[in-house]
Amino acid sequence: MKISKKIYINALLCLVLLGVSSCSDFLTEENESEYTQDNYFQTREQAESAINTLYASLRFVSDGSGTYGESPFMMLEFATGLCNTEVGQSQFNNAYRNLTANSEDAYALNWWQNSYRAIANANLAIARIPEIDMAQTDKDNLVGQAKFIRAFYYFHLVRLFGDVPLILEPVDASSELLYPARSPQQEVYNAIVTDLKDVENSGLPFTDESGRVGLGAAKTLLSSVYLTMAGYPLQAGDNYYKLAADKAKEVIDSKKYSLFTDYDNLHDPSINNTGEIIFQNQYLIGFATSGLTAWMLPRSRGISQFSDEYGALYPTQQFIDAHETGDKRLEEQEFYFTEYPSIENPDETVDFSATYIYKYFDEDAVLRTAQSSLGWKFFRYAEVLLTYAEAGFEAYGPTTEVLAAINEIRDRANLPLYDASITEEDIWKERFYELSFENKYWFDMARRRKALNLSTGSFENFVGHQFSYGPTLTDKYLLFPIPQREINNNKQLTQNPGW
């Protein structure tokens, strides 16, 4: 990976999100041809625009990858063996679905380059904002947001790729870090934890309905980091289960979040960033439009105003059949759907002959506008409850509070509540079904080294786990490939085993 000055400054020249001012307004203030990473951070407005750029970067996860019916979040779903696709030309989706991917994969490159571009901008903000003449509380707030974003990206990189270059300062053409080597995972995790502890002390509000980072998001991310550190590959010790549980409990005890009573609220753009939603990327119709709904619609069934109904990703029937009897999440138009009225003739119901994902269904976009502002949810309160249940069970056993956390999820799904006879696999399964197709399960598989056998209902070893349609996981898929293009540019990078 070559780190250049251009990467660090090219995204800083335009406001991008959350409405400080328009790009054109901003660029008329100064001579835009004279910006460098050294002279850009002079005013509060420039600091805020830099932070806004970091938020805009988060959209890459659910934006298209430049090919038909493909998006970076799909990499993590097809690698679980739980997905079908109706898009034959989506070569990267099919490669992961069939476990035939290679190091030339565009998804891995997309994750790598976009993550390091955002980290570069975060490093600049963290280094330069303290030098600006403005209130210290405002500096702390903005730097706290930048540290959260940096930690967020490193948490993804270290889980996706293992040892990765750890760059925590601005880099220019003369820097020794221009061609960085991979850093041990433990060092990366230590940096993530340090950043998130700093965020907790940065004076941020607990929640922020504008979509910016709050303490609740930082504590949620830190609880997930601790839970991951307790598992593979670090196996940092049982104390990390306690750390994860206690941090998740801080979020629960804050009473700032609650489960939606209606699953429909999870995909209603009008109530973004409230209730159950802790942190997500942001879209705005007319400025940046979300493709989530169109990708998840069954292919070309004529049920929407979208010119393209992709059928890019939908569950295997084996996944659907593995649900408990009576699970409300499986009812029509809860988490999934199997039919919908024709857009041309609403009295005619179109039967899909398969089950599709309803979690990302924006009704207004489908029926009227063909434009959506639905964000990709990185964290919601349901995950906090499940993290507390899993980590708390390992740290403290089936306590009343552990049972209360998981039973909140069960109760909403109209399923029988658990008692003290609960097992760790019961908790794993609840996370499996509740957080389905939200980019959680592959990470869970990797940190546990376990995958759910849909036929037996039991968890088995990751290595040797066979997908319901044939392919079998090897240890190669415990990590994704370091992009070959980055290795070609930086001879200090090495490839992951098997790639």
Please state, in angstroms and rounded to a whole number, the distance separating the CA atoms of residues 330 and 384: 22
Distance CA 247, CA 148 (A): 16
Give all domains of the chain, ordered by start, each with its CATH number.
5-204+481-489 (1.25.40.390), 283-374 (no CATH)
Q: Specify the residue for token string 């995958």.
A: 451
Average pLDDT, the chain: 93
The predicted pLDDT at position 36 comes to 67
pLDDT class for 33, splitting at 50, 70, 90? Answer: very low
- Please compute the mean of the pLDDT values over residues 315-328 and round it to a whole number: 98
pLDDT category at 177 given cuts 50, 70, 90 is: confident
Smallest Cα–Cα separation from 49: which of 125, 118, 120?
125
* 87, 69 Cβ separation under 8 angstroms: yes
Q: Name the band, by pLDDT with cuts 50, 70 and 90, for residue 174.
A: confident
> What pLDDT, in 10s, does the model give residues 276-304?
999 999 999 999 999 999 999 999 999 99
> Distance of CA 385 to CAs 8, 245, 410, Å?
37, 9, 11
What does the angle CA 192 – CA 495 – CA 84 come to, to the nearest 5 degrees?
80
pLDDT for 314 = 98
**Whether pLDDT at 393 is above 70:** yes
| pLDDT score, position 1 | 52
With 0-12 / 13-18 / 19 or more C-beta atoms within 10 angstroms meaning exposed / middle / buried, residue 246 is middle
pLDDT tens figures, 394-419: 999 999 999 999 999 999 999 999 99
Q: How far apart are CA 376 and CA 280, in angstroms?
A: 5
Name the β-bridge partners of 75. none
Nearest-Å Rg of the Cα atoms of the chain is 22
The encoded tokens of residue 208 equal 């922020």
Pairing label, strands 83-84, 314-315 = antiparallel
pLDDT of residue 161: 98
At position 322, the amino acid (one-letter code) is A
Q: How many CA atoms lie within 13 A of 488 on its CB side?
A: 6
Q: Is the pLDDT of residue 357 over 80?
A: yes
- Dig out the tokens for 97 from the structure: 């679905």
Question: What is the 3 state secondary structure string of 447-487?
Answer: HHCEEEECCCCEEEECCCCECCCCCECCHHHHCCCCCHHHH
381-396 and 400-412 helices, crossing angle to 10°: 150
Mean pLDDT of 168-194: 94
Please report the pLDDT score of residue 201 as a whole number.
97
* Least confident among 40-49, 123-132, 289-298, 414-423: 40-49
Q: Which of 35-44, 77-86, 264-273, 403-412 has the lowest mean pLDDT?
A: 35-44
**pLDDT tens per residue across span 196-226:** 999 999 999 999 999 999 999 999 999 999 9
pLDDT band per the 50, 70, 90 thresholds, residue 37: low
Residues 338, 252 contacting (CB under 8 angstroms) = no
**Rounded distance, CA 320 to CA 464, Å?**
22
pLDDT for 336: 98
**Is residue 34 very low, low, confident or very high in pLDDT (cuts 50, 70, 90)?**
low
pLDDT at 290: 97
Q: Return the pLDDT at 35.
A: 58
* 3-31 per-position pLDDT tens digit: 443 343 343 333 333 333 333 332 233 44
Please give the average per-residue pLDDT across 46-54, as a whole number.
Answer: 96
The confidence score (pLDDT) of residue 48 equals 96
Whether the per-residue pLDDT at 374 is higher than 90: the answer is yes
